[in-house]
Amino acid sequence: MIEFWTAALAIALLLYVVLDGFDLGVGMLMAAAPDEHRRRQMLSAIAPVWDGNETWLVVTASILFGVFPLVYATLLSAFYLPLYIMLAGLILRGVSFEFRQKSIRRKRFWDACFILGSFVATFVQGMTVGALVAGLPITNGYYAGGAFGWVSPFAFLCGLGLCLGYAMLGAGWLVCKTEADIQAMAFRILPKLLVGVLAFLAVAFVAALGLQLRVMERWLERPTLAAFPLIGLVATCAMFRAVGRRQERTPFVCGLLIFLAAFGTLAVSFYPYMVPFTITITIADAAAPRSSQAFLFWGAGVVVLPITLVYTLVVYFVFKGKVEMGAGYSNDGSDRPPAETRARIGNPS
């Protein structure tokens, strides 16, 4: 049971990072869109999937609450403030996404809210990961760092790095889903974002060595960790090549591989700790009683997880393909541009 729920937690967290990551990235990249038509097209690229992507965040929190309650309690004690800020950013995104399609004179305001919410949610997630890597102040199994014990220059650096990473994923998604101006813009931005991600990884590695973080000791204990950066390096080279050849699907796939390599590096580095590197909070110590795990298995494990996964796959299959030029992103088509505008941009229907 412990192995099953550990794998389920890892899969749910990875799916949230890569799926919600690219739509948060598109939200941040909207700041580079020069006009309403391009912003609408960018929103159309994520409209069918962005809300469902956040389901995996709920699944992750539910597994922690039900199966690893000690981890849930410890992390919430440390991250109450950043989690509230992250949720505020996600809520702001949802509200602005819906309100802008009905607004006539304040679309730019709601666009700014959507962009801000995307930046805030991403930055806080990155700071949270950075705080975990740097190590939380844990005493006798309890968090002892106060409201801002998670704040550090390294965590701040990781927040900026994740913004670059999500933006890279978002640009890859726009290359897949859009055409003309937006796709060209994404192709132009991708190499710069990739260079930014590589620069962040280099600075973070040097900073971790300088701060003598315990996570770096794992590289000596587990040399097989080098396989994950190697995967990331191959994916990086493939992305540069794909952008140069204007390949449409490869950049996004390469971005996924880069995130998979980073996720694998952290997961193997942390194992068997759930909260690194606290002896009292290993996977076995943090797990709920076997009876609780079995009870949740027949509900969440057999029903909820497969249904959520199938739903996600179906949505991406149904809404595959390019976004139409001039298409709206609302269900009722109320945000579609006037007929003369659609004709001018090449979609008179």
Give residue-wise pLDDT tens across range 167-195.
Answer: 999 999 999 888 888 889 999 999 999 99
pLDDT of residue 52: 85
Those residues with Cβ within 8 angstroms of residue 43's Cβ, 6 or more apart along the chain or in another chain = 26, 30, 97, 329
Report domain extents, the chain. 2-322
Cα–Cα distance for residue pair 158/166, rounded to 1 Å: 12
Instruction: Inform me whether the pLDDT recorded for 277 exceeds 80.
Output: no
Weakest mean pLDDT among 97-101, 272-276, 343-347: 343-347
Cα–Cα distance for residue pair 162/158, rounded to 1 Å: 6
pLDDT of residue 170: 93
Do residues 231 and 260 lie in contact, with contact meaning Cβ atoms separated by under 8 Å?
yes
- Phi, psi dihedrals of residue 100, rounded to the nearest 5°: -65, -30
pLDDT in tens, 111-129: 999 999 999 999 999 999 9
Mean pLDDT of the chain: 86
pLDDT of residue 333: 47
Report pTM.
0.89
In degrees to the nearest 10, what's the CA dihedral of 1, 126, 83, 75?
40
Which whole-number Å values give the CA distances from 37 to 12, 31, 109, 120, 344, in the listed order?
A: 34, 13, 16, 25, 11
